[in-house]
Chain A
Amino acid sequence: MNITVDKVLDCKGLACPMPIVKTKKGMEELQAGQVIEVLATDKGSVADIQGWAKNTGHQYIGTIEEGEVFKHYLRKANADEVKEETRYPHTVSHEELIEKINAKENMKILDVREPAEYAFGRIPGAISIPMGELEERISELNPEDVIHVVCRSGNRSDRACQLLDEKGFKRLKNILPGMKDWLGQIEKN
């Protein structure tokens, strides 16, 4: 599968610790929130990349194995994500959301994470518009619809709700917490 990323880093043929060292350097060139795809043939990189992300605070999204090549996806952490400030007043919990889904309520789920995050697991039927593209793609959404917005932690979706609210969308709910704690059904690419 092809996943849109901000940077591709080729570490094929390199032995430990080079994939990690190069990932660190590659990450430095990214803006917070951007996604990197690291290509590696080192089998140790599967565990190492996850350990690296855990220790540096960046987000490990997932790994795809294609033949001998591992494609690791990581998202650069955003300092303000850690704080998880939430301001948009209308929110919905996972339990409430699952009830609405089961009751087949008429509503849309908007996922504002990066395409790679969306590809590795989303609420079934969720529409993907990354936060950075929301303003220019706003015409794809209908202000009359009931829209539930989700991201990983609840932070980007909060900003998305505020942006949509300013643009005249009034039937919004921010899904809290985000996908990192989602235990309901998952749809993948």
Chain B
Amino acid sequence: MSTKVAIIASNGGLFDAYKVFNIATAAAATDAEVSIFFTFEGLNLIHKQAYQQLPMPAGREHFAEGFKAANVPAIPELVGMAVELGVKIIACQMTMDVMNLKKEDFIDGIDVGGAVTFLDFAKDANVTLTF
């Protein structure tokens, strides 16, 4: 049976996005089954508009050049790859209700679910990560 990787993404900055999607795509490319649960500010990472210009942490704006120099893919590109590799994306219904967001506000190919949807996947995961 393949390795299962369960990730919770609960922060909405650019650094958070790279942590989540680098691990997720690397795991999926290594034949792992990956699910990410996006909750609270983590929803920014899959929001159609927000994910195109995620903020750098305050005072860390100068890293923008480093990202360019290292030829790191843009977040929408990484997300596209993750989806293509079969990473399952679950948006948190409760946060969506609180923030008045609809499924259409997010990128295509996501699932919407509650905490149990994620827990059902995570209960026998080999790796569980929180960002």
> Could you write out 18 A-B pairs with CB less than 8 Å apart?
A13-B71, A14-B71, A15-B70, A15-B71, A15-B73, A16-B22, A17-B25, A20-B25, A20-B26, A21-B25, A21-B26, A21-B81, A21-B85, A48-B26, A51-B30, A52-B29, A52-B30, A56-B30
Which residues of A pack against B, CB within 8 Å?
13-18, 20-21, 23-24, 48, 51-52, 55-56
- The residues of A that contact B99 with a CB separation of less than 8 Å are none
What's the Cα separation between A20 and B81 when bound, in Å?
12
Contact B29 A15 (CB under 8 A): no
B residues near A20, Cβ cutoff 8 Å:
25-26, 29-30
* CB <8 Å contact, A56 and B31: yes
Chain A CB within 8 A of B129 CB: no
Residues of B in contact, count (CB < 8 Å): 14
A15 cross-chain contacts in B, Cβ below 8 A? 70-73
Taken together as a complex, chains A and B put the C-alpha atoms of A51 and B85 apart, in Å, by 18
In angstroms, how far is the closest chain B Cβ from the Cβ of A90? Answer: 38
Q: Is B49 an interface residue (CB 8 A)?
A: no
Closest-by-CB residue of A relative to B30 is A55
For A21, the chain B residues whose CB sits under 8 A away are 25-26, 29, 81, 85
Nearest B-chain residue to A55, judged by Cβ: B30
For residue B70, which residues in chain A have a CB less than 8 angstroms away from its CB? 15
Closest Cβ neighbor of B22 among chain A residues = A17
Which B residues lie within 8 Å of A16 (CB)? 22, 26
Cα of A56 to Cα of B3 in the assembled complex, Å = 10
> Which residues B11-37 have CB closer than 8 A to chain A?
22, 25-26, 29-32
Q: Which residues of B contact A23 (CB under 8 A)?
A: 29
Complex CA–CA separation, A16 to B85 (angstroms): 16
